């Protein structure tokens, strides 16, 4: 029981980060029908930019809360500009091209970002300087750090804010209209290019925050970290129903919990043959099962018009 | 108000519209009739900015608008009800109407526009919280028209408003067309139902394989043997 609660908590925290990244995949897919494989790497850039900022600011002896605010703000700005440029340079010229062309371009952009990061930051792991000393909390006999709690609460706030924005604001309505019928949205006066660019900026900015969270959570950064994170977030988006914003939130949290629970019990279940280092198996097991059993995902509209 | 000169619309190398001239004067209701594939919808799409014409010139309200995007034209009062209605299926009826008011930001005037839409189509008021995709075809057509009126158009383009609708619903839609025309909105409508279109309109153009073959008063066209034989089934 204690393992269960512990892994549930770990899973929700990790899952909330997956969910933030999954939002970027699902929003872009919803509006363009494009799987932006570079999104995981945008998150990686966000993580490394915030790491560097933390290193610089910590060396200057600035208090931790200010450091985190500046690092987050810096990462958001860099990623927003990056997302905007990628859309403009790599995807917009291919808007009317067959679907395979932008997909392959996305993979190209992903590789470009990875190796640009390797040039800038090197290929070694980068450690986070110790700037915060998280307090230990105990709930239902399980351990939780104040950092984990803060990550989870901030992620939930961002997700709730985004859902509210898309549901009620004029811009959010225009985003949904563009997603459902870009031509008619244009007839209503919506400049769909602006909406698409805005979607990239929004997804990338949220990805940047997720990158900062990952850095704080694991205390490490690496130029290739966006790959696995991206695949898992993509799996979360597919699990929830890709294109569905609420689905990305649900899928992310679920995937985090499934992965944590499974890695917590895998040792006992296999008599010690497989350890928790096999945790990554479960994300992809989930992906395969969803694609076989319910390709539209948990909340996706069943119609299968795309893909 | 709208004048079209030698307009050509092509898809790849295939010309759907082969250099047509067309005129709509302020306050008029004009019909563009013709068989399937005559190029009527392509013409309308070029006028509304959904398609870029390959050649020719379009003037609206005293300025050239050739090739201008749709989102720009609607701000100048040129709106279109697209073929197949084009409602946003997963937005509610009220949200669809709100999209029609996207270009406006005067809250009280928008509220009045909502009132007018719901008075014109009480059916939509009953269903305002329902996703538009759950409406019947006729209700969707009403919604598409109500939504276009939310833009406060001065020139309204209607693409096949009667398509796929039951006869009673077609009557209702054309009643609305007349009501909107009575409010002083200029209209250009594309129709396959030639009889109803010509009975509703002031003037008409007949299109055949990308060219305009006849242009006259609606009454004259209705009684012309050529039109009666080809489009009225006599």
Range with lowest mean pLDDT among A71-85, A124-138, A230-244: A124-138
Beta carbons of B49 and A186 less than 8 Å apart? yes
Question: Residue B111 above 90 pLDDT?
Answer: yes
Mutant choice from B45, B71, B90, B95 vs A, greatest count of A C-beta within 10 A = B71
User: How far apart (Å, rounded) are the C-alpha atoms in residues B6 and A5?
Assistant: 74
- What are the start-end ranges of the E strands in chain B? 2-11, 14-24, 29-34, 55-60, 63-64, 78-81, 155-159, 186-191, 203-208, 211-217
Question: Residue A149 above 60 pLDDT?
Answer: yes
User: How far apart (Å, rounded) are the C-alpha atoms in residues B80 and B155?
Assistant: 8
Please indicate, yes or no, if residue A232 is contained in any of the structural domains.
no
Tally of structural domains, chain A: 1
Residue A232: name the closest of A93, A25, A80 by CA.
A25
Whether the ipTM is more than 0.90: the answer is yes
- Tens of pLDDT, residue by residue over B59-69, are 999 899 999 99
Please indicate, yes or no, if residue A297 is contained in any of the structural domains.
no
A302: confidence class by pLDDT, cuts 50, 70, 90: low
User: How distant is the Cα of B123 from the closest Cα of chain A, in angstroms?
Assistant: 22
Q: Taking CB atoms and an 8 Å cut-off, how many pairs form between chains A and B?
A: 66
Of chain A, the percentage scoring pLDDT greater than 90 comes to 79
Question: Residue A305 above 50 pLDDT?
Answer: no
DSSP string across A36-102: -TTHHHHHHHHHHHHHHHHHHHHHTT--HHHHHHHHHHHHHHHHHHHHHHHIIIIIGGGTTS-THHH
What mean pLDDT, rounded, does chain A reach?
93
Please indicate, yes or no, if residue A264 is contained in any of the structural domains.
no
Q: For residue A188, what are the domain limits?
A: 19-225
User: How distant is the Cα of A302 from the closest Cα of chain B, in angstroms?
Assistant: 13
| Selected residues 97-136 of chain A with any CB under 8 Å from a CB in chain B | none
Please indicate, yes or no, if residue A305 is contained in any of the structural domains.
no
User: How distant is the Cα of B177 from the closest Cα of chain A, in angstroms?
Assistant: 19
| Selected residues 159-198 of chain A with any CB under 8 Å from a CB in chain B | 170, 173-174, 176-177, 180-181, 183-192
A307: confidence class by pLDDT, cuts 50, 70, 90: very low
User: How distant is the Cα of A164 from the closest Cα of chain B, in angstroms?
Assistant: 15
User: How distant is the Cα of B197 from the closest Cα of chain A, in angstroms?
Assistant: 23
- Tens of pLDDT, residue by residue over A252-283, are 999 999 999 988 888 787 877 877 778 888 88
Mean pLDDT of the A120-139 span: 91
- Tens of pLDDT, residue by residue over B135-170, are 999 999 999 999 999 999 999 999 999 888 889 889
Which domains, and CATH codes, for chain B?
2-231 (3.40.50.300)
What mean pLDDT, rounded, does chain B reach?
92
Please indicate, yes or no, if residue A157 is contained in any of the structural domains.
yes
Mean pLDDT of the A290-299 span: 90
Please indicate, yes or no, if residue A276 is contained in any of the structural domains.
no
A92: confidence class by pLDDT, cuts 50, 70, 90: very high
Among chain B residues, CA nearest to A193: B71
- Whether B52 has its CB under 8 Å from any CB of chain A: the answer is no
- At residue A121's C-alpha, the angle toward residues A115 and A125, to 5°, is 100
So what's the pLDDT on residue B234?
Answer: 62
Please indicate, yes or no, if residue A231 is contained in any of the structural domains.
no
Mutant choice from A96, A184, A193 vs B, greatest count of B C-beta within 10 A = A184
Please indicate, yes or no, if residue A139 is contained in any of the structural domains.
yes
- Whether B110 has its CB under 8 Å from any CB of chain A: the answer is no
A174 vs B contacts (CB less than 8 Å): 99, 102
């Amino acid at each position: 029981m204690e393992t269960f609660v512990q892994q549930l908590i770990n899973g929700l925290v990790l899952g909330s980060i997956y969910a933030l990244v999954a939002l970027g995949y699902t929003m872009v897919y919803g509006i363009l029908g494009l799987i932006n494989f570079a999104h995981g790497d945008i998150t990686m850039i966000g993580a490394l930019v915030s790491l560097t900022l933390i290193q610089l600011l910590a060396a200057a002896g600035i208090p931790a809360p200010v450091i985190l605010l500046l690092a987050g703000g810096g990462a958001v700005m860099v990623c927003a500009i990056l997302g905007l440029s990628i859309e403009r340079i790599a995807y917009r010229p291919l808007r009317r091209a067959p679907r395979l062309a932008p997909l392959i371009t996305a993979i190209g952009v992903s590789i470009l970002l990875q190796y640009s990061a390797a040039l800038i930051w090197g290929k070694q792991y980068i450690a986070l300087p110790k700037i915060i000393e998280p307090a230990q909390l105990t709930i239902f006999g399980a351990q939780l750090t104040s950092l984990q709690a803060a990550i989870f609460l901030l992620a939930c706030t961002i997700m709730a804010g985004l859902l509210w924005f898309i549901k009620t604001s004029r811009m959010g309505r225009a985003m949904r209209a563009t997603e459902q019928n870009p031509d008619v949205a244009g007839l209503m006066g919506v400049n769909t290019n602006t909406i698409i660019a805005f979607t990239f900026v929004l997804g990338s900015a949220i990805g940047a925050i997720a990158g900062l969270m990952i850095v704080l959570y694991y205390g490490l950064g690496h130029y290739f970290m966006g790959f696995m994170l991206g695949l898992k977030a993509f799996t979360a988006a597919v699990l929830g129903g890709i294109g569905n914003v609420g689905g990305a939130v649900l899928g992310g949290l679920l995937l985090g919990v499934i992965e944590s629970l499974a890695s917590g019990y895998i040792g006992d279940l296999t008599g010690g043959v497989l350890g928790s280092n096999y945790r990554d198996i479960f994300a992809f097991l989930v992906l395969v099962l969803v694609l076989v059993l319910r390709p539209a995902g948990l909340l996706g509209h069943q119609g299968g018009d795309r893909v | 108000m709208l004048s079209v000169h030698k307009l050509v619309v092509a898809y790849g190398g295939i010309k759907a519209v082969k250099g047509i001239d067309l005129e709509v004067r302020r306050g008029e209701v004009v019909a563009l009739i013709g068989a399937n594939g005559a190029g009527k919808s392509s013409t309308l799409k070029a006028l509304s900015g959904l398609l870029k014409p390959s050649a020719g010139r379009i003037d609206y309200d005293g300025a050239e608008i050739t090739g201008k995007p749709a989102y720009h034209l609607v701000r100048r009062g040129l709106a279109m009800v697209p073929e197949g209605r084009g409602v946003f299926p997963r937005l509610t009826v009220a949200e669809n109407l709100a999209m029609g008011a996207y270009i406006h930001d005067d809250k009280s005037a928008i509220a009045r526009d909502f009132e007018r839409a719901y008075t014109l189509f009480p059916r939509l008021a009953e269903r305002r919280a329902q996703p538009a995709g759950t409406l019947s075809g006729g209700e969707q057509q009403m919604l598409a028209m109500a939504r276009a009126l939310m833009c406060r158009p001065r020139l309204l383009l209607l693409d096949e408003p009667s398509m796929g609708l039951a006869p009673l619903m077609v009557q209702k839609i054309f009643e609305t067309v007349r009501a909107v025309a009575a409010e002083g909105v200029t209209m250009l409508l594309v129709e396959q139902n030639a009889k109803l279109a010509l009975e509703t309109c002031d003037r008409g153009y007949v299109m055949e394989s990308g060219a305009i073959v006849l242009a006259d008063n609606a009454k004259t066209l209705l009684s012309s043997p050529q039109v009666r034989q080809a489009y009225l089934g006599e």
